[in-house]
Structure 1
C-alpha cells in the first residue's frame, strides 16, 4: 500500500464555520456576547444541565471551579496520576495540594479502589478525569466519598455519558475543552457546567473580573456609562464571540462526529484486537464513549518493538502517534516538589510507558484506517 500521511488529529471545519464568523465580525461585537450565550444554551441543553458558562480554555475552567468551591491553601484535592498536567496545575493555582490517586491501566481512569486511602481531614474535592472520552465512574466515587465536592475534568468528554447521564452533569461542576484535538473545537476555549444556581452565579462573576454584570448586560442596559460593582477578585477568563460562533456550528455536529468516530473505533477493535501484543480500549455498556482519541496499550512482553520504537516505526510510515498522555507524578516539578517515586503509582506508570494513541478523527478516510491497520499488522 502506498505511504500515506495521517496526522494524530485534525479539526473538522469548513464553509459553515467560515460563514458563522461573519456575524460577530460585521456586528462589531467580538468579545463575549450573544454568540457565546447561544453556544452556552445549546451546550447546557445537550449535556442536560441548568447552566453552561463559556471560558477561555479547560484549564481556566478547572481553576474557576476550584475557586468557586472555595478550595484554598491548606486544602487537598484528589487528582488521578495519569492525566494532562493542567488537572494538577489548577489545584496549585489555588495554593492547595494535589494528592495523586493511581489509575486503572485498563480504563486509564482513576482507580476507585485507591481513593479512600488518600482521603484526609484536609481533602475538600476530587477531580475525576473522563480520559479520552470515557467517563470516570462518578456513581462509585459518590458512594466512596459523599463528603467531597466533585469537579469533572471532561476536557475529552463532550457528548460522553455514564448510565445515560451526560458528562458535566454527574458532579458539582463539569469542565470541558474545545482545543483542536477535541471532537468539537473553537480553537481554544472551555466550558463550565453546573446545576447549582449559586455556583453558576459565582462562576459567572469570577470569569469576568468579578464584575456584578457582564459587559453585554451593561452596554445594552439603560445606563451603559455606569461601571459594574466588583465585590470579589475575579479573572479575565472569557470566551470571545468569534469562538462562540464556531462553537454553535461545531456543537450541532457533535453527535454526528461521535457516531462516525465510534464506527471507526469498532473497526479498530475488530482488526487490532487480533494482535496479541495490543490491548484495545475496554469498557462496559453503561458508558457512552466520546472517542476524543483511540488509545492502545502495548504489551512489551509480547511486542516485537518497544512502545517508543513502535511510535518511531509508525512515524516513518506517515502515521502520527502519541502516548495517551503523561503520568503527572513523573513530571519534573511534581516529582521533585513532592518527592515522588515513579513507581509510587504503578498503574499510572504503566499508562505513561505503554499507552499509544493512534489517529481517530473526522477528517480521516476509509483508506486511512485501512492503512493504519495494515501497517500495524505487518509488524512481526
Structure 2
C-alpha cells in the first residue's frame, strides 16, 4: 500500500505561493520570431498580401516531404477539411481512438457522420489495431489515428486492419516525430497539425493540413476559401458554400521562424524528457512515455502513468501538485466518457469495450513540459512527485 501524499501546512503553503509557478506547457520565443512577424506586418500587403502564408506552406511541405500543405486557423479546421474532402457524411461511421482531445472527434459530427470510439494500446497510448478491427462495420468510411503526446501507433498494423479505408492522421502533438524514415503527418492519406500556444511549434493558434493526394488537395483549397478556386479568386465567384479556414500572414510569419528553429525546439523537448527519465528511472510503479525501435518520439508532453497500487486518482494528483505551485494536466479522458457525446449510440459499447483507455486515464497525468523549463524546475517537479508517492510500511 502507498501512503497518501503529504499536504503542506499553512506556513509551507505561504512559502510555496511565493515560489514561481511551474507551467505545464508553453513556447520558446526568440528575436527571430519577433523579426519575422515585424517584417510581415510591414510588408504583407498589396502585391505581397498573404506572402508569408504561401512561404510557410511551401517550407512546411518541404520539411515533411509532402506535395501539399495548407495553413489553417487551427487543427480542428484541418480535420474538418480532411473529412469534407473525403466526402464523409450522414450514415458514415468514422473510427477514432478514445484517448485524444475532443477536437479530433468533433469534426466527425460537423459533417454529420457518427464517431466510433476505439481503445488504445497500453504501450503506445495510441489506436489499438485489435480494437480497430472490433469497431469496423459495413458503415465504416474512415479511420482517424492520433499521435498522442508525440508517440505514434503501429501504423503498419493499422493500415492492414483498415484494408484500404482512408486514414486521417491527427499529428497535432507530434511535429518532427518519425516512424521509420517517414515524418508524423505523412503516415495516412491526409495529416493534420496544431500550432496552438502549447505545441512544440506554435503560431499562437493555427494548424496545417497536408497530403500527397491531388484529389484531396484540390478539394481542400476550394473548401477553405468559401468555395473559390485560386482561378476564381479575383472574380469573387463561388460554386458552393464552404468555409473561411485560412491562416493570417502574421501567424504564418511566426510559424516560419519556429520552423527554421524546429531542430532546436525538438532537441529541447527531448532534453526535458531525458531529465525526467534520469530522475525517475528508479522510482517503482512510474511509467513515462515509452521509447520503441523505429520511432522518433517528440515527447510533446511528459506523461506519468502510476501503478494501480498507489491508489492515487489523476485528479487527486493534480490537486497535490497544485498545492506545490506545479501545473499539470490529466491524461486525456476517454471521449466516450464526455457528456458531449452522450447522445451517440456508440458510447455505451465503447465504455464497456475500451478498458485500457479508461484505466490509464484514471491514474495518469502530464508533467510540466513547457519549452522554457529549466533543469532546476524539473528537479523540483520530481521532488514533488516523490513526496506524493512516498511509500509507507503496511501496519501489521
TM range (shorter): over 0.9
Q: TM-score if structure 1 supplies the norm length?
A: 0.92
In the TM superposition, what is the alpha-carbon distance from 1:214 to its structure 2 partner? 7.3
Task: Report whether the alignment pairs 1:11 with 2:27.
Answer: yes
Give the aligned partner of residue 222 of structure 1: none
1:105–1:350 Cα contact (<8 Å) kept? no
Give the aligned partner of residue 134 of structure 1: 151
Task: Report whether the alignment pairs 1:236 with 2:244.
Answer: yes
Task: Report whether the alignment pairs 1:183 with 2:179.
Answer: no
Work out the CA distance in 2 between the residues paired with 1:42 and 1:28. 17
In the TM superposition, what is the alpha-carbon distance from 1:283 to its structure 2 partner? 3.2
Deviates more, 1:291-300 or 1:226-235: 226-235
1:29–1:241 Cα contact (<8 Å) kept? no
Task: Report whether the alignment pairs 1:351 with 2:360.
Answer: yes
Give the aligned partner of residue 365 of structure 1: 374
Give the aligned partner of residue 59 of structure 1: 76
Give the aligned partner of residue 316 of structure 1: 323
Give the aligned partner of residue 330 of structure 1: 337
Which residues of 2 match residues 1-380 of structure 1 at below 5 A? 3-27=19-43, 29=45, 33-213=50-230, 218=233, 226-302=234-310, 305-338=312-345, 339-340=347-348, 342-379=351-388, 380=390
Work out the CA distance in 1 between the residues paired with 2:223 and 2:231. 11
Q: CA RMSD in A?
A: 2.0
2:191–2:209 Cα contact (<8 Å) kept? yes
1:298–1:307 Cα contact (<8 Å) kept? no
In the TM superposition, what is the alpha-carbon distance from 1:122 to its structure 2 partner? 1.1
What are the ranges of 5 or more consecutive residues in structure 2 without an aligned counterpart? 1-14, 391-396
2:96 is paired with a residue whose SS is strand
Work out the CA distance in 2 between the residues paired with 1:103 and 1:28. 44
2:134 is paired with a residue whose SS is helix
Work out the CA distance in 2 between the residues paired with 1:284 and 1:346. 23
1:214/1:105 Cα in 2 relative to 1: closer, same or farther (>3 Å)? farther
Work out the CA distance in 1 between the residues paired with 2:220 and 2:137. 27
Deviates more, 1:329-338 or 1:127-136: 329-338
Give the aligned partner of residue 221 of structure 1: none
Aligned length in residues:
370
1:21 is paired with a residue whose SS is helix
Work out the CA distance in 1 between the residues paired with 2:343 and 2:44. 49
Deviates more, 1:350-359 or 1:335-344: 335-344
Work out the CA distance in 1 between the residues paired with 2:99 and 2:376. 33
How far does the alpha carbon of each residue in 1:284-324 deviate from its partner, in whole angstroms, 9 at most, with x for none? 12111122111111223135x44322221111111110112
Work out the CA distance in 1 between the residues paired with 2:76 and 2:292. 29
Work out the CA distance in 2 between the residues paired with 1:255 and 1:169. 18
Work out the CA distance in 2 between the residues paired with 1:284 and 1:102. 20
1:88 is paired with a residue whose SS is helix
Work out the CA distance in 2 between the residues paired with 1:214 and 1:256. 39
1:116/1:306 Cα in 2 relative to 1: closer, same or farther (>3 Å)? closer
How far does the alpha carbon of each residue in 1:69-121 deviate from its partner, in whole angstroms, 9 at most, with x for none? 11111111110011101111110001001111011233211111111121111
Q: TM-score if structure 2 supplies the norm length?
A: 0.89
2:230 is paired with a residue whose SS is coil
1:185 is paired with a residue whose SS is coil
Deviates more, 1:27-36 or 1:172-181: 27-36
What are the ranges of 5 or more consecutive residues in structure 1 without an aligned counterpart? 219-225
Work out the CA distance in 2 between the residues paired with 1:264 and 1:176. 22
1:181–1:292 Cα contact (<8 Å) kept? no
In the TM superposition, what is the alpha-carbon distance from 1:32 to its structure 2 partner? 7.2
Give the aligned partner of residue 223 of structure 1: none
